[in-house]
Amino acid sequence: MRTILGLIVVLAAGAAGLVAGYYFWGRPTDWYDVDIAKLGEGPEHDLVRYGRELIVDTPRYIGKDATDPAMRYAGNNLACQNCHLSAGLQPFAAPFVSTFATFPMMVDDQVLTLKDRVNGCMRRSLNGKDLPHDSREMNALIAYFQFVGKGTPVGVRLPGMGLRPIAEPKDPPDARRGEAVYAELCATCHKEDGQGEPRTPPAVGYTIPPLWGEASFNAGAGMAKTAYAASYIRDNMPLGIDYKAPVLTVQQAWDVAAYIISKPHPPAPPEPGPAGD
């Protein structure tokens, strides 16, 4: 009898452990809930914090009007966070959560490193020049990507990464219709002339970024591609909404993207090698 009872106890304990194992293994993780305030002291953590500052306040450190002329790597005063919302932690707003774990990657039969990818953004979205690979700024950005991606599976892009695929529009994207959508839903923030809202001097940069003109991204940037811009706009604009409750219809997103892209932008730079944006 004692043997039977012992066997029952062992089996029950094993079953409980199996259930607990499946519970923890299958329990969803919110990879986008990252709190940098929990970081302790020390130079490694200081580097991560500096990386976040570069994302949030890019023009202060490396923008075209940065205090130190030697640090003016960007050709405009946009911040990385103007596109990578919430310091790269908003799903489907080109977040950084899987970034460190998915590089290096093959692009056009060539190896693309994460530093190469950063400099692709420097040349196009920020319309500037490459950060030196061994600079503190480059190392800080990489440290931040590694921090927000801690524990993420290697080589796997988690749900919410990149942009959400957008449905094809019912009608071809039309800049004239997009102008009306822009006037109704976008101009309040980005202004009628598309130049956004500059920060109050002596601060540099924008509270709302410009969407066209010399102060904006150049023609080689991802946002200069209609499908990319439409997907981003649909799931993230007006500012404050997310992909769960979009304001613009699919057609409106395509149309306003076509309108923004029809406006002047700086020319795309020559490409030194493979880089995506």
Q: What is the mean pLDDT of residues 164-183?
A: 98
The reply to whether 36-148 and 175-262 are identical in fold is yes
pLDDT in tens, 199-223: 999 999 999 999 999 999 999 999 9
Lowest mean pLDDT among 111-120, 134-143, 221-230, 263-272: 263-272
Candidates 253, 258, 267, 259; CA nearest to 217 is 267
For 16-20, 215-219, 240-244, which range has the lowest pLDDT when averaged over its residues? 16-20
Average pLDDT, the chain: 90
Residues 253-266: pLDDT tens digits?
999 999 999 999 99
**Level-2 CATH architecture, domain 36-148:** Orthogonal Bundle (1.10)
Q: Where are the alpha helices (DSSP H) in the chain?
A: 2-26, 43-56, 58-62, 85-88, 114-123, 136-148, 175-185, 187-190, 226-236, 250-262
The b-or-e profile of 83-118 (16+ CB within 10 A means b, else e) is bbbebbbbbbbbbbbbbbbbbeeeeeeeebebbbbb
CA nearest neighbour of 210 among 220, 200, 201, 199: 199
The yes-or-no verdict on residue 9 having pLDDT over 50 is no
Sequence spans of domains, the chain: 36-148, 175-262
Specify the pLDDT at position 271.
Answer: 73
Residue 159 has pLDDT above 50, yes or no: yes
Architecture of the domain whose range is 175-262 = Orthogonal Bundle (1.10)
181 touches 255 (CB < 8 A): yes
pLDDT tens-digit series, residues 56-65: 999 999 999 9
What span, in angstroms and rounded, lies between the C-alpha atoms of 165 and 159?
12
